[in-house]
Structure 1
Amino acid sequence: MDKTQMPHSVVPTPGGMREMLAIALPMVVSHGCETLLIFTDRLFLSRLGPEQMSAAMAGGLTSFMMMTFFIGLTGYATALVAQYLGAGERQRCALVVSQALLIALVAYPLILAGRPLAHGLFALAGIAPEQLAPQRQYFDILLYGALPVLLRTCLASFFSGIGRTRVVMLAALVAMLVNVGANYLLIFGRFGVPALGIRGAAWGTLLGSLCGLAVLVAVYFGRDNRQAYGVLDALRLERAVMKKLLRFGSPAGVEMFLNLLAFTVMILIFHSHGLTTATAVTVVFNWDMVSFVPLIGIQIGVVSLVGRYLGASHPEIAERAAISGLKMGWIYSSVILLLFVCLPEQLVEIFRPQGADETFSQAAPLAVGMLRLASLYVLADAVMVVFSGALRAAGDTFWAMTVSVTMHWLLVPLLFVLLKVFQLPPQSAWLALIGLFLCFSGVFYLRYRSGRWKHLAMIGDEPGGPLAVSGGGA
């Protein structure tokens, strides 16, 4: 009897909430760990002063931005692995990962070559000297540690694509625990370790990332996984699969890079408004990260299940999986909404430095108001993340890239004009950004609603590849 026809008491409904939870919940926990890792850096540094905390945010975002094209490109392996698995081509799953690993090795020196450009961007932004020096230190250390981040992305994409998301969760948990412990020792200088301040935060992050990578490597090259997916035989260049990954992953990489570049520029525009605004915005975006990043775990679950069922020619189940992801996203975002509305003062106070600090005292009321305004879009976050995940799983990456990049780069000049030309207060600029963001969430919903994504094909045109998804070409 076909699995889709078995009683509900025997197996979860294909594409239903139980199946989505099994795939996505470990990824939510995984991304929650990544969020806590970054959050801890900034929380510990806030004890040293708001300038250190803001420096970690701007420097960390910029270093990540330098990697994002390749993270987006290699991370698209999740969708390809899921479609190959659904089509019964298990051996090609490991081939996808091998191509991603090759891309990561080539990418590392290219990322390092962009370091002077980032330093120029910092200087151009006109950031206060008290923040600029530690920001450069934090950025440089994280950038030199880019390779473990890229390799983690490649291997995590494999496990996400085949549905073994608990492995990714374990790796993220190890990375978080090592990072938190290392941060405590290195930032403050405990147990005889010298106090390194913001440099200690960066080194702690790299150490955690290396430990997380070690977990993924151990499981990926473990005996069971080697036998099931032919991992060692797949350690080679496969032109057809590489072409596929480059074709569909490049738009995702371009989108991720341009979006984070726009977001980084927006942060720098806010930070150039003064230390008070920089402190308030850093606090708000720390909590915004808590709101948004775990949703990426749900998106990975959507990509995995939607890709798998499209690969198996079951678009109706793929659609059910997307709606299950939306329900899960709304449940999480509703909790965040209540926190932002009911407890903004308490959320802001968590970042108060030790001792009296005039800058933070001036920034706290501004941060409270911005957090309350942020509650207006947290449910829209879930809509955009889930439906964009469904579109990407189907191969509709160019459209998703175009709309998402357009959205982010409309926000940049809007923010600049409001803050620098009209000299409006940060709250007004923040509210305008929220309004534009809500509009674009609706655009992603309408694209999903059109249903065109159900009839795209990604994996049917290479020699020896599996059958295409039913419908027309991409």
Structure 2
Amino acid sequence: MNTTFPTRDISSTRAVFGLAWPLTVKAIMLHGIVVIDAYLVSSLGEAAVAVLGLSASIAGILLGLIVAFSNATQIRIAQAFGSGDKVFLKSALLAGLTINMAVILIGLVVLSLSAGAVIEQLAHTPWIAAEAKRYLSVFAIVLFAEAAGQCLTSFFNGCGETRLPALSYLLAVPLNVVSSIVLIHGLFGAPELGVMGAALGSALASVVQVGFLAFTLLSSRRDLLRVAGWRNGSFAATLRRHFVFALPIATTFASATIAMSVCGLIYATMPVNAFAAVTIIMPWVQVAGTVGMCWAQATGIIVAQLLGRTTSEETLDAFLSGAWRAALFAAALVSVFYACICLAAPWIYKDLSTETQTTLLSFLPILLLLPFPKGSNAICGNTLRAGGDTVYVMHIFVWSQWLFRVPATAIMVLYLDLPVIWVFSLLLVEELVKFAPFHLRLFRGGWKRGVVPL
């Protein structure tokens, strides 16, 4: 299936929705795995949640790199698919898969040498440190599966078959829930593994998910792997060219994920109740936030198509205004969702202490406001990328994270020992820091002419 937008439909929000909803379902399912693990483990108490939070912060760095390079591979595959060049398509797929696997192998070697010392330094108790190490040893299976799965997802998305990756997660998530419950609590004669059961459940689900994608690819596109030749003459040259193309695109995505993981490691030094509250709420922030992010990505894709057709500035403005209004409506829905989660925390996480539940409720004012600047910034960022202003967008993300959010988090937690609500508010303040640079650049209008303004 090739995702295209007819001229009469391209200025409508229906076109954006048709592209965005499978991306949203897949993204929600991906983040939902973490939410499910946090929910299931919460019945074991704050210490178990701390194990999950510490392990996820470390593993999240590698997962972020994989997602980052896979996003670049998706663009490369889309170019190849559009050109109809099977050699280019095969080259993009195998080069992307090779890079993903290399990143995971190098990352796991680094983790084996350094993760133990980091965990022992940050863990509140020896039990938390020991369980976090065990969790990561099993989670390595998830990392290998995601390295292949994210590349295959990029292949299908780039070819316009966005529903297949979403379907793979619809298969994997229920399996993750059932297997994790059984292994955490030792049901039906299975061993009672506690936190380790959540890791094994995620591993099983990831293997099934990537198996489904691999089977689908081999069934439908087996001929692709038999195509002779490489895009740049040899596989080594093709791999090098793919990496050069992917690196600047991956930098933007990787920076955000690594910054989040570094902040997660800093959060681990907070009191157990505060750290548990942040560990529980952050996956919800990511899950609900995908609605606005995927809408913005779809908007950027269509803006790029409009620019490629030399569409008038009036039509561009009309399309973007409609997409923007819809993005603000989506932000309002996300705010309502956050309100429901915070207000229902005493029932959802009834096994946690009253202090942890109260902390979750204190996050509500920030979460009600966060989706609006975040969604508007995402529309700006994806529109500017579509107009060729990718380096400027990268600078906004990188410097707002590493000159503001990460050092501010470290100062608040490690030196000032401020309450967790102040630390959590940095999510909103970071979006406000990016707001003016993004919107002023967009309103200058250079992106409409495909010209990057000085």
AA in 1 matched with 2:406: V
User: Which residue of structure 2 lines up, in the alignment, with residue 92 of structure 1?
Assistant: 88
AA in 1 matched with 2:148: L
Find the partner of 1:218 among 215, 218, 221.
215
Find the partner of 2:365 among 372, 376, 381.
372
SS in 2 for 1:171: helix
Task: Tell me if structure 2 keeps the 8 A contact 1:99–1:238.
Answer: no
After superposition, residues 224-235 of structure 1 pair within 5 angstroms as 225=221, 230-233=224-227
Quote the offset at 1:63 in angstroms.
0.6
AA in 2 matched with 1:187: I
Find the partner of 2:349 among 342, 347, 351.
351
Quote the offset at 1:296 in angstroms.
4.2
User: Which residue of structure 1 lines up, in the alignment, with residue 41 of structure 2?
Assistant: 45
AA in 2 matched with 1:292: G
Find the partner of 2:27 among 12, 23, 31.
31
Find the partner of 1:420 among 406, 414, 424.
414
1:386 aligns with 2:386: no
Q: Structure 1 stretch 274-283 or stretch 440-449: which is displaced more?
A: 440-449
Cα distance in 2, alignment partners of residues 181 and 235 from structure 1: 45
Q: Structure 1 stretch 373-382 or stretch 251-260: which is displaced more?
A: 251-260
Q: Which blocks of at least 5 consecutive residues in structure 2 are unaligned? A: none
AA in 1 matched with 2:409: L
User: Which residue of structure 1 lines up, in the alignment, with residue 400 of structure 2?
Assistant: 407
| 1:243-271 CA distance string (max 9 Å, x none) | 55323421232333332232222223223
User: Which residue of structure 1 lines up, in the alignment, with residue 204 of structure 2?
Assistant: 207
Cα distance in 2, alignment partners of residues 57 and 120 from structure 1: 16
Q: Structure 1 stretch 422-431 or stretch 42-51: which is displaced more?
A: 422-431
Find the partner of 1:175 among 151, 172, 190.
172
Quote the offset at 1:57 in angstroms.
2.5
Cα distance in 2, alignment partners of residues 266 and 315 from structure 1: 43
| 1:83-111 CA distance string (max 9 Å, x none) | 44456657634432222012123223212
User: Which residue of structure 2 lines up, in the alignment, with residue 434 of structure 1?
Assistant: 428
AA in 2 matched with 1:347: A
Quote the offset at 1:342 in angstroms.
6.0
Structure 2 CA distance for partners of 1:128 and 1:238, relative to 1, 3 Å: farther
SS in 2 for 1:100: helix
User: Which residue of structure 2 lines up, in the alignment, with residue 333 of structure 1?
Assistant: 331
Quote the offset at 1:59 in angstroms.
0.8
1:444 aligns with 2:442: no
Percent identity of paired positions between Structure 1 and Structure 2: 21
AA in 1 matched with 2:430: L
SS in 1 for 2:425: helix
User: Which residue of structure 1 lines up, in the alignment, with residue 97 of structure 2?
Assistant: 101
AA in 1 matched with 2:382: G
Task: Tell me if structure 1 keeps the 8 A contact 2:33–2:176.
Answer: yes
Quote the offset at 1:48 in angstroms.
1.0
Quote the offset at 1:64 in angstroms.
2.3
Q: Which blocks of at least 5 consecutive residues in structure 1 are unaligned? A: 457-470
Structure 2 CA distance for partners of 1:318 and 1:186, relative to 1, 3 Å: farther
Cα distance in 2, alignment partners of residues 198 and 321 from structure 1: 48
1:113 aligns with 2:109: yes
SS in 1 for 2:189: coil
Cα distance in 1, alignment partners of residues 308 and 82 from structure 2: 5
| 1:326-374 CA distance string (max 9 Å, x none) | 4554333211212334662213541232xxx5xx211221221113322
Task: Tell me if structure 2 keeps the 8 A contact 1:42–1:53.
Answer: yes
| 1:269-311 CA distance string (max 9 Å, x none) | 2231211211221222132122223444335534554455556
SS in 2 for 1:99: helix
| Structure with the bigger percentage of helix | 2
Normalised by the size of structure 2, how large is the TM-score? 0.86
Normalised by the size of structure 1, how large is the TM-score? 0.82
1:152 aligns with 2:146: no
